[in-house]
Structure 1
């Protein structure tokens, strides 16, 4: 094999190794911000049979009815220091347009709030990153959060575990979402009623 050909193959293999190693245990189905993600969702035929499953290691959430996955989405979960509680829970309250109550950040929108562990832990819209980054809550992309909110009800079971059965199949096909590079919207917008009006339309500020 001549030197130019060996060099080309070496570069190609090295590049492939970098791409594979950078994916970690997250999906490889493209990338982008959470505001560009709008997951397909199937309306449940029996709302009482709906369940939510969260995989903390993969950073994925699945809504199921029986053996069928109705919706799947990347999510943000708690860090090692502030983990998302694991176990079997139920959604115990829902608030469509909720704001953070305490400081820091009192008044910050936490739209499509669904608590499942205590009043302090829940699923809601929030900036999603491809690694554990929350204080224990489960942050969802905007369109996913709205759909999950509408598909569930108080009493819907929630299972939080290190892994879920769909991580290597459906979950592996989901995109990697990273809102980290996005700027913080101005407080004047985040504290206004318009943020909720926009989010109901699947948009926010100038992100989409």
Structure 2
């Protein structure tokens, strides 16, 4: 994968708004009923070579930011508002100088820092994690742990990350000996809170979970995983809703679709909440999806290919505001096993403009 081409819009994110944006009907039927999820597709997942990264901050334009560094995978995952917006290869501490696992906060930032321990070595876009020399910074990535304990990042990725972080943001450094598998092998959904604590998984079964009081205000992100048959609603980095998702037999995304809620309101009632009017939505096809296949998917959504409990749909609609984004994807929100590493948690797209104006 050419490192430059993969720096273009990466695409991951919110999903259920799709239900609302594209006529996903809220049916009374049990979401875990007769509808069957198709086998998980084998996607042409990109392979990140040393120095490669993926970056798409537009997927979650605002919200709290956390960073997960997987020492086992030699990757760093960036989450904003609970959804992945970037992933990068890294180089951590070499044998004898291992990067320590743990929960850290960014203590200091310096764009032009130089090491006071190792011959004034340049450490561009330094973000300090400890006062005894452990930091994130740009540097050489040979494809294996090679630093004196710091986490080296590709220079361009280090610059982008530096621009969006703040002092006090949480960084979790994980390995299999000290951390749970969901943190060591993350996916689309952030495995930790902004405080660095593991996020609880709500066993909703065929029903749903919703609690506005957990995070009353802030940006809302929705992740709809067809592969997991789950819908996740994040507000200000906190999970306020989760639901089972019924998927019609034969339906698959064959990639991912990003939707953005527009300001304009149509005169047609929403099928998620008949008491509300539909907003217009812009659809951005991502990996594996083109204009023709997206048009077919729209027709399937209108026929109820994706279903959630009606009460969950109404609560979701009420939480959405213009600018909200939704990611509909075949990819898992959470990797069940480390073996699923071939399913990349982030994607790319060359598409700068929507090719379909969806009218929910």
Please give the TM-score of this superposition, normalised by the length of structure 2. Answer: 0.36
Task: After TM superposition, list the pairs within 5 Å mapping 1:87-106 onto structure 2.
Answer: 87-103=102-118, 105-106=119-120
Task: Please give the alpha-carbon distance, in whole angstroms, between the structure 2 residues aligned to 1:42 and 1:172.
Answer: 12
* Aligned ranges 1:189-204 → 2 under 5 Å: none
With over 3 angstroms needed to count, the CA separation of the structure-2 counterparts of 1:134 and 1:45, relative to structure 1, is same
Match of 2:268 in 1: none
Q: How many residues align?
A: 142
Partner of 2:75: 60
Whether 1:124 aligns to 2:137 is yes
* SS at structure 1 position matched to 2:54: coil
How far is 1:38 from its partner?
5.7
Structure 2 counterpart of 1:140: 153
Query: Where does residue 97 of structure 2 map in the other structure?
Result: 82
Q: From the CA coordinates, give the structure whose radius of gyration is larger.
A: 2
State the match for 2:185 in structure 1: 164
In structure 1, runs of 5+ residues without a counterpart are 1-26, 175-208
Q: Deviations over 1:21-58 (max 9, x none)?
A: xxxxxx97164x63xx46323055335x1001000010
Following the alignment from structure 1 to structure 2, what is the Cα–Cα distance between the partners of residues 161 and 66?
20
Cα distance between partner residues in 2 of 1:69 and 1:172: 7
Extract structure 1 runs of 4+ deviating beyond 3 A.
43-47, 171-174
More helix by proportion, 1 or 2?
1
**Alignment correspondent of 2:266:** none
Counterpart position of 2:30: none
Relative to the length of structure 1, the TM-score reads 0.61
1:43-96 per-residue CA deviation (whole Å, 9 max, x = no partner) reads: 55335x100100001000011023311111000011231111111110000001
C-alpha separation in 1, matches of 2:158 and 2:78: 11
Which structure: greater strand fraction?
A: 2
Tell me if structure 1 keeps the 8 A contact 2:123–2:139: yes
Mapped partners of 1:98, 1:138: distance in 2 = 14
Instruction: Supply the distance in 2 between the matched residues of 1:173 and 1:29 (Cα, whole angstroms).
Output: 11
Partner Cα distance (2:129, 2:102) in 1: 10
Q: 1:55 to 1:38 in 2, by over 3 A?
A: closer
Separation in structure 1 between the aligned mates of residue 153 and residue 54 of structure 2, nearest angstrom: 11
CA RMSD of aligned residues (A): 2.5
Residue 171 of structure 1, CA deviation? 6.0
Alignment of 1:2-21 (within 5 A): none
CA contact (8 A) 1:72 1:170 kept: no
